[in-house]
Amino acid sequence: MIRTRNAHAHFLRGFALLLFLAASGTAALADGETAPARDPKQPVDDAYTAKIHKYTTQPFFTSPLVDYLPASKTVPTPEAVLGDVAGAPGILPYAEDVYKYMRLLEKNSPRVKVFSIGKTEEGREMIAVAVSSPENLKNLDENRARLAKLADPRTIKLDDAEADRIVAQSVPVYYITGTIHSPETGAPTALMELAYRLAVDESPYIREIRDGMITLITPVVEVDGRDRMVDIYRWHLSHPKDFYPPLIYWGKYVAHDNNRDAMGVTLKLTENVLNTYVDWKAQVLHDLHESVPYLYDNTAGDGPFNAWVDPILTDEWEMIGWRNVSDMTKFGMPGVFTHGVFDTWSPGYLMFIAAMHNGISRLYETFGNGGADTLPRTLDPEEYARTWYKQNPPLPKTLWSQRDNNNYEQTGLLTSLHYFNENKRLFLKNFYLKAKRSVTKPGAEGPAAYVLPADDPRSSSQAELLRVLQKQAVEISRATSAFTVTLPVKKSTKPKKDAKDSKEKDAPPAPTTHEFPAGSYIVRMDQPYSRIADALLDYQYWSPDDPQKTPYDDTGWTFGELFGVQVTRVTDSKVLDVAMERVKVIHAPSSVSGDATIYAINNNAEPTLATLRYKLRDASIEAAEESFESAGKKFARGSFLIRNATRAQLNDAIADLGLQATPVSAMPSVKTHPVRAARIAFVHTWLSTQAEGWWRIALDNLGIPYDYISTQVVSKTSDLNTKYDVILFPPVGFFSSPTAIINGLPSTWGNPLPWKTTPETPNLVGKNDSTDDMRPGLGWEGVANLQNFVNKGGVLLTATDTSRFALSIGLADGVSVGNAQRMKIVGSVVGTRLVDGASPIAYGYDEKLSAYCDNGPIFSLSSVSGARGGRRLGNESHTRPTGRGTADDPDFTVGRPGVEVPEEPKAEIWENPLLTDEQLHNNYRAIPPANRARVIFRYADSKELLISGLVEGGDEIAQHAAVVDVPTGTGHVILFSINPVYRGETRGTYSLVLNTILNFDSLNAGRKLAEK
């Protein structure tokens, strides 16, 4: 400790002395390499440069590339917009100001062009800024056409010699993206200054970059979040003594997870960056983050690497990453490293758009202060420890400024750009080779294609999955006639114990064939972007023995499983010869046949059924409680029976919902109940809004209306039932213990933390919610209000941590949560099994359902109030006591006739344990059958639990309840252990939530009660 403090004092004393000896070391260079330094002839903007030095806290926190600013007679510096230099303390520009500056550059320099690349959810603009030589910018289209040939080698018939010719003529595109994570605030100013340097500096090192390649920059990726963050920072500046509010909302829907959307492409920012990356045929996507001292190039991460990336890419990561470390180490900049703890398994990160589209993904973590204050920063021991991959670690303690951060960001980028340019022929050729290997995939590692059958009953979910693939620039085809493929038989991994001779052991399993109807969708793997389709549609296996014990993110995501649609992996290359045509727009076919007063729509758990219910507000819709047949068609439980809607109205409403309305002559004889458009309250906390944000976007996209209210509003609303039928309380996420949900943030000290739009903070609320003080939680009044709501007939739906919350405050009786001892299910796809298909929550579902689970709570049921469920002690062993006879014989008592031993009631793990007569005797705690929890879905048996990802110690949760309906008072509490709505990836489980909403006042339908 003392040593650390002294070291810091020493640095501060040496500060003035060392400042002008700033990193001048130009390292030994390879033959022909240009020195990374200013050209002595390059004029310098002295005033700006002096400020750079002033705001840099240590002489070694900069480099010869950025410790001066080149002067220009015509092009304004960032000071023109910022009022100070980039990275100056106290200055954090709004996105609009950043754009203003970029457009000022465009106006004053022929080397800069600004492109609008789309809007955010809240309508703010996103831009991409191209910096290159005027000639390159003039020839953008010709160059793009060349790059397009490398990106799609089919266009040059996979001709390597032709590729070499194109490579020699092409200018590569290096795409840099900043500030996807709003509290990581440094990139916009760093990128403003970088654009200026690239545009005006005549030093050979910079000129080579400018002439040799196109640098493309999106300075702000999360624009909505940036503007809110700047609001918060300005609030902080005007209330310097107060605590400032945490950034509870970044984008409209999600926070940090905006960098986990590169699979589902649910957010605009992902779509816009993806389109820009693909349209520009860029070779690199380099995303800037700020959470690790001082510069962590986490691209060359730890294992396991994503199985679908090309090994050519993983080599490129190492080349660029280590060269980057080497260059900056030679500048004398401490704390620059690669490798580190990040595993490279999930393709959900924004940068992975490049990895999955034959480019190079890169990610920097530099060191940010979460604003523009200069702060003393003390590191954790593991952060400043020297490791094999971090031989020059950061300092244990230092004064750190936004300018320091900007120096690191710019130095890293400039050396990367230069190295990339030096080796651009290699990287362009690799770009082509990776695309070629994507095209030749069917004949190499395979598969040949994925097929989504035309007769999948979930056509709207199928269409949604195909649309995700199309957003990923994957080509979709459709078979024009029926076709048959040979499917390989799954090899059993277990040795056949009973195989009597080697003949039986070695006999190859017979292949099977499968016929697909005309109109089936074919995702060909002989296309340039087959890689992303394969990564999304294939299965993932993360070995519990993997040396990586802390997966960085989800371990499994198989989209076909999570969307609840049929996807067949076809290795038979004959599938590529099937007659097919490319599909530009995916439609989910809907139809209304015939004119009638009653229409029936089959229930296949399609989320669009809920859309229809809310669209047809005036129609009367009933759900059939049993399956029935009508007009020669079979209708499953939960099928809609619609009256009071004309054919035209129905036709209009179901367009593109993927639903078929069939006229029926009369109501079927089975029992029905009304399907009403429930009034929904959607509850969020002021602790975190991200997990619920994924629920909000799902409801918004489906057109399900709701009131978005905070726990504070719940605490002030004593009669929730008059306003709402259903309260959704989606998962909270971080720090969300039951006490945190109730208590909120500490409020016995400190100041109120307002989240509201004021002249000072014009962007804070956006289109979400506001409060004068974020600190108060649900409070005990809120608990009482929720309890009242449920007791008086309301339906409260909770998932994962909010289910724990509901159980811990006693909102639902007869269910307890067990603690996992060894279980590790890290963002995996797991199997569940239907237990009670008569429950409306299960309408449209099959026996098997795949779901997303992230160490979900382990529910156990009890038939005794307040008792913990789970296996009862002593119930496990049925060995007979010591006595006469063999092991299977009954014992006897000498001198009296034998008696029959009463059979112990047995229940499965997911069931309510039955009570014995003894347990029932005067047991006022015994829960009457009608009040007991009703299990709708349970987790699969241990051996069938893993679908994709990592499941370790899965026996702890196997067979336990996964979705439970607990009657409480006259209402219901619905508990999910899985998370049914997650990152736009789990459409297959959405209807568990939507069914609850649609059948809120008939949830007891089909319930069979135990006798006692």
CB of 691 to Zn ion, least distance (A): 18
Cβ atoms of 274 and 261 closer than 8 Å: no
Task: Select the span of 288-296, 415-423, 760-768, 937-945 touching Zn ion (CB under 5 A).
Answer: 288-296
Please report where in the chains the tokens 């056509």 appear, as a residue.
459
Q: Which CB atom, from 181 or from 684, has the smaller least distance to Zn ion?
A: 181
Among 181, 286, 377, 804, binds Zn ion (CB under 5 A): 181
CB of 229 to Zn ion, least distance (A): 13
CB of 349 to Zn ion, least distance (A): 10
Site string for Zn ion, 52-71 (x = CB under 5 A): --------------------
Q: 411: which 2 tokens?
A: 């130095």
Which parts of 919-938 interact with Zn ion (CB under 5 A)? none
Strand partners, 853: 828
Which parts of 77-136 interact with Zn ion (CB under 5 A)? none
Reduced to 3 states, what is the DSSP secondary structure of residue 628? strand
Cα separations in angstroms, 324 against 194, 297, 409, 511, 837: 17, 8, 12, 51, 58
Q: Which CB atom, from 183 or from 730, has the smaller least distance to Zn ion?
A: 183
Cα angle 998-809-748, degrees, rounded to a multiple of 5? 115
Q: Which CB atom, from 290 or from 538, has the smaller least distance to Zn ion?
A: 290
Return d(Cα 376, Cα 397) in angstroms, integer.
7
Number of residues that bind Zn ion (CB under 5 A): 3
- Longest alpha-carbon distance in the chain: 117
Please report where in the chains the tokens 């160059």 appear, as a residue.
143
Q: Which CB atom, from 81 or from 221, has the smaller least distance to Zn ion?
A: 221
CB of 184 to Zn ion, least distance (A): 5
Task: Select the span of 174-182, 320-328, 580-588, 855-863 touching Zn ion (CB under 5 A).
Answer: 174-182
Task: Select the span of 285-293, 410-418, 436-444, 785-793 touching Zn ion (CB under 5 A).
Answer: 285-293
Return d(Cα 784, Cα 328) in angstroms, integer.
59
In this structure, what are the phi and psi dihedrals at residue 46, rounded to the nearest 5 degrees? -65, -40
CB of 361 to Zn ion, least distance (A): 14
Distant-in-sequence, close-in-space partners of 584: CB < 8 Å, separation ≥ 6: none
Reduced to 3 states, what is the DSSP secondary structure of residue 642? strand
Q: Which CB atom, from 153 or from 348, has the smaller least distance to Zn ion?
A: 348
Which parts of 193-222 interact with Zn ion (CB under 5 A)? none
Q: Which helix (H) or strand (E) holds 362?
A: strand 360-366
Q: 831: which 2 tokens?
A: 């199997």
CB of 423 to Zn ion, least distance (A): 28
CB of 291 to Zn ion, least distance (A): 5
Amino acid at 156: I
Cα separations in angstroms, 903 against 318, 613, 906: 66, 49, 9
By CB under 5 A, residue 696 contacts Zn ion? no
CB of 1001 to Zn ion, least distance (A): 45
Q: Which CB atom, from 308 or from 349, has the smaller least distance to Zn ion?
A: 349
Cβ atoms of 419 and 327 closer than 8 Å: yes
CB of 289 to Zn ion, least distance (A): 3
Cβ atoms of 147 and 168 closer than 8 Å: no
Q: Which CB atom, from 370 or from 971, has the smaller least distance to Zn ion?
A: 370
- 902 by Cβ neighbours in 10 Å (0-12 / 13-18 / 19+) ranks as exposed
Q: Which CB atom, from 181 or from 234, has the smaller least distance to Zn ion?
A: 181
Task: Select the span of 282-290, 593-601, 649-657, 900-908 touching Zn ion (CB under 5 A).
Answer: 282-290
Q: Which CB atom, from 220 or from 612, has the smaller least distance to Zn ion?
A: 220
By CB under 5 A, residue 289 contacts Zn ion? yes
Q: Which CB atom, from 363 or from 809, has the smaller least distance to Zn ion?
A: 363
Please report where in the chains the tokens 């401490």 appear, as a residue.
334
Return d(Cα 576, Cα 426) in angstroms, integer.
32
CB of 181 to Zn ion, least distance (A): 3
Task: Select the span of 183-191, 477-485, 822-830, 933-941 touching Zn ion (CB under 5 A).
Answer: 183-191
By CB under 5 A, residue 146 contacts Zn ion? no
Task: Select the span of 177-185, 452-460, 800-808, 815-823 touching Zn ion (CB under 5 A).
Answer: 177-185
As a whole number of Å, the end-to-end CA separation of the chain is 66
Q: Which CB atom, from 57 or from 298, has the smaller least distance to Zn ion?
A: 298
Cβ atoms of 395 and 182 closer than 8 Å: no
Task: Select the span of 2-10, 289-297, 352-360, 921-929 touching Zn ion (CB under 5 A).
Answer: 289-297
Q: Which CB atom, from 285 or from 567, has the smaller least distance to Zn ion?
A: 285
Which parts of 610-669 interact with Zn ion (CB under 5 A)? none
Q: Which CB atom, from 181 or from 972, has the smaller least distance to Zn ion?
A: 181
CB of 350 to Zn ion, least distance (A): 10
Own/partner pairs for 745-753, CB < 8 Å, 24+ apart? 745/686, 745/687, 745/774, 745/775, 745/777, 746/775, 747/773, 747/775, 747/776, 750/242, 750/243, 750/775, 751/239, 751/242, 751/243, 753/243, 753/244, 753/245, 753/246
Q: Would you tell me how many other CB atoms lie within 10 Å of the CB of residue 406?
A: 30
Nearest to 1011 by CA among 935, 939, 905: 905
Task: Select the span of 53-61, 134-142, 184-192, 546-554 touching Zn ion (CB under 5 A).
Answer: 184-192
CB of 370 to Zn ion, least distance (A): 11
Task: Select the span of 15-23, 178-186, 482-490, 884-892 touching Zn ion (CB under 5 A).
Answer: 178-186
Which parts of 525-544 interact with Zn ion (CB under 5 A)? none
CB of 384 to Zn ion, least distance (A): 20
Cβ atoms of 40 and 31 closer than 8 Å: no
| Omega before 447 within 30 of 0, i.e. cis | yes
Q: Which CB atom, from 184 or from 316, has the smaller least distance to Zn ion?
A: 184
CB of 180 to Zn ion, least distance (A): 7
Task: Select the span of 260-268, 286-294, 421-429, 701-709 touching Zn ion (CB under 5 A).
Answer: 286-294
Q: What is the DSSP letter of 778?
A: S
CB of 290 to Zn ion, least distance (A): 7
- 622 by Cβ neighbours in 10 Å (0-12 / 13-18 / 19+) ranks as buried
CB of 582 to Zn ion, least distance (A): 38
CB of 281 to Zn ion, least distance (A): 26
Amino acid at 391: Q
Q: Which CB atom, from 351 or from 536, has the smaller least distance to Zn ion?
A: 351
Q: Which CB atom, from 301 or from 988, has the smaller least distance to Zn ion?
A: 301
Return d(Cα 635, Cα 566) in angstroms, integer.
20
Cβ atoms of 938 and 848 closer than 8 Å: no
Task: Select the span of 83-91, 182-190, 192-200, 521-529 touching Zn ion (CB under 5 A).
Answer: 182-190
Number of H helices, E strands in the chain: 29, 41
Return d(Cα 212, Cα 205) in angstroms, integer.
11
Q: Which CB atom, from 181 or from 934, has the smaller least distance to Zn ion?
A: 181
Where along the sequence are the contacts to Zn ion (CB under 5 A)? 181, 184, 289
